[in-house]
Structure 1
Amino acid sequence: MKNYSFLNKITTAIIIATLSFSCKSSVSRNPEQAKATDKPKPQPNLVYGDLIIKDQSDYLMIPITLTEQNEDKGIDLKISRSYERNNQLLYNLIFYRKQDGEAHLLLNKKAIINSFDLLEVKAVNKPNTRVWLYKIIDQDTNTDKKLSSEDAIIGYLSDLSGNNLQQITPNNTRIISWVIVPSQNAIFLKIIKDSDNDKKFTAEDKTNFVRVNLDKPGMGTEIISDQIEQQIKSYIFK
């Protein structure tokens, strides 16, 4: 019995020692595993695109993209009619004054510039109007925690220097097309609104037109009122 008791004690001691060593090894490995897990993901490099030079402006422009590739292959993000970056996303523009080297950014927030176009309006007996028109994605309207072409696309205007940036189309809308009317020195933009609040822009949503005065750019006024739309429906669906 004494030998049996002695063997039990030895066996118990070995088990306790083994468990203790196992716990210490586990504890000693955890910090290394945590370090490997917490290693920050490297940021993509900034890419400065080719210079954009317009004779009408005292400023030249430098596009800002990233080395990362567009993860959403279904997105068709065209970067203006005169400038394309092979589906790379355009995040900002640097405006650089040719004369003295003064430089500043167009945007002071995270956004995607879907397109930009130089508008030049020539009207009789009036000075020419020159502004930049931008289509910008800066609102996560479908709440998927990222900016993409599935979100609203908002219209903005700035002067040729990239200053005085002004939103001209309502939030939670998307620009479909636009046209300039020189005699009125105005731009008319066709928009679609997420009228059913499903966080998508589909054929079920309402469209409208907004007019923006280029002499004093600001939020455009909708042309088709609710009253006119109700009248149209009363004639068509009666």
Structure 2
Amino acid sequence: MKNYSFLNKITTVLIIATLSFSCKSAVNRKAEQAKATEKPKPQPNLVYGDLIIKEQSDYLMIPVTLPEQNQDKGIDLKLSRSYERSNQLLYNIIFYQKQNGEAHPLLNKKAIITSFDLLEVKTANKPTTRVWLYKIIDQDTNTDKKLNGEDATIGYLSDLSGKNLQQITPNNTRIISWVVVPSQNAIFLKIIKDSDNNKKFTEEDKTNFVRVNLDKIAMGTEIISDQIEQEIKSYVFK
């Protein structure tokens, strides 16, 4: 009797295991079939804004945005002093050569262009300097895995063709304002730095000014040194 009972138990276990394996196999097959029939979500179409035409340039400019996208409330889109403001984020600009039809994008990476302006500097006995100034968010400085108005806003310059793009303000900073000084053929930009390294830009952070020489465009040089700041503090807080 004991052997008979033992055999019954083994038989029952084998039947349950077989049924369980069959069910799992059926479920797995159905899951695999469902995955195979799933269609990947189509990418949204790009939206191209109105042409930007500058008589001083041999290039037309085409803004690139995405459809039905709400503006990040933290991003101030003052796109250009001569371009109508839009509530859509600008992800790139296509430059199109009027004469030969050659076209290329400004950026080769993911970014948000919050501002772009044509700088035209005229000085006596010198050719007129014309460059594009951009304010671009291209670094996830607050590490929330997305680009938004809480991240750094970096200054860039390019020529009229949208080529030779050069960063002019330091990483982990935000442009507050800028002004062109024609007599120096230079642009001065006021910036705020995340000086306390808390991944935010607040009133507690330090500000400074950066000078960029338009004769030889490169990363700007900060004007106010730590030594000068400490010297002034010794007078003010004496």
What's the TM-score, normalizing by structure 1?
A: 0.86
Counterpart of 1:181? 181
How far apart, in 1, do the equivalents of 2:146 and 2:193 lie?
20
**2:63/2:92 contact within 8 Å kept:** yes
Taking the TM superposition and a 5 Å limit, the aligned residue runs for 1:35-74 are: 35=36, 39-70=39-70, 72-74=72-74
Counterpart of 2:153? 153
Taking the TM superposition and a 5 Å limit, the aligned residue runs for 1:1-238 are: 16=16, 22-23=23-24, 25-35=26-36, 39-70=39-70, 72-84=72-84, 86-238=86-238
How far apart, in 1, do the equivalents of 2:51 and 2:92 lie?
13
How far apart, in 1, do the equivalents of 2:232 and 2:24 lie?
77
Residues 71 and 103 of structure 1: is their aligned pair in 2 closer, same or farther, counting only changes over 3 Å?
A: closer
SS in 2 for 1:67: coil
Q: CA deviation at 1:45?
A: 0.6
SS in 1 for 2:130: strand
Q: CA deviation at 1:79?
A: 2.0
Deviations along 1:191-231, one digit per CA (max 9) or x if unpaired, are: 00010111111111100001111111111111100000001
Q: Which moved more, 1:85-94 or 1:69-78?
A: 69-78
CA RMSD of aligned residues (A): 2.6
Q: CA deviation at 1:101?
A: 1.1
How far apart, in 2, do the equivalents of 1:187 and 1:23 lie?
68
Q: CA deviation at 1:39?
A: 4.4
Deviations along 1:19-76, one digit per CA (max 9) or x if unpaired, are: 576445433432244447x643321111111111001111111111111413744443
Which structure 2 residue ranges, 5 or more long, are not aligned? none
How far apart, in 2, do the equivalents of 1:204 and 1:144 lie?
21
Q: CA deviation at 1:148?
A: 1.3
Q: Which moved more, 1:18-27 or 1:169-178?
A: 18-27
**2:77/2:85 contact within 8 Å kept:** no
> Quick one: which amino acid aligns to residue 213 of structure 2?
N
Identity score, percent = 79
SS in 2 for 1:217: coil
> Quick one: which amino acid aligns to residue 27 of structure 2?
S
SS in 1 for 2:176: strand
Residues 33 and 128 of structure 1: is their aligned pair in 2 closer, same or farther, counting only changes over 3 Å?
A: same
> Quick one: which amino acid aligns to residue 128 of structure 1?
T
Residues 138 and 27 of structure 1: is their aligned pair in 2 closer, same or farther, counting only changes over 3 Å?
A: closer
**1:139/1:147 contact within 8 Å kept:** yes
What's the TM-score, normalizing by structure 2?
A: 0.86
Runs of 4 or more off by more than 6 Å in structure 1? none
**2:71/2:87 contact within 8 Å kept:** no
Residues 177 and 33 of structure 1: is their aligned pair in 2 closer, same or farther, counting only changes over 3 Å?
A: same
> Quick one: which amino acid aligns to residue 236 of structure 1?
V
How far apart, in 1, do the equivalents of 2:177 and 2:194 lie?
17
How far apart, in 1, do the equivalents of 2:52 and 2:144 lie?
33
**Aligned residue-pair number:** 232
SS in 2 for 1:176: strand
> Quick one: which amino acid aligns to residue 27 of structure 1?
N
SS in 2 for 1:230: helix
Which structure 1 residue ranges, 5 or more long, are not aligned? none
SS in 2 for 1:178: strand
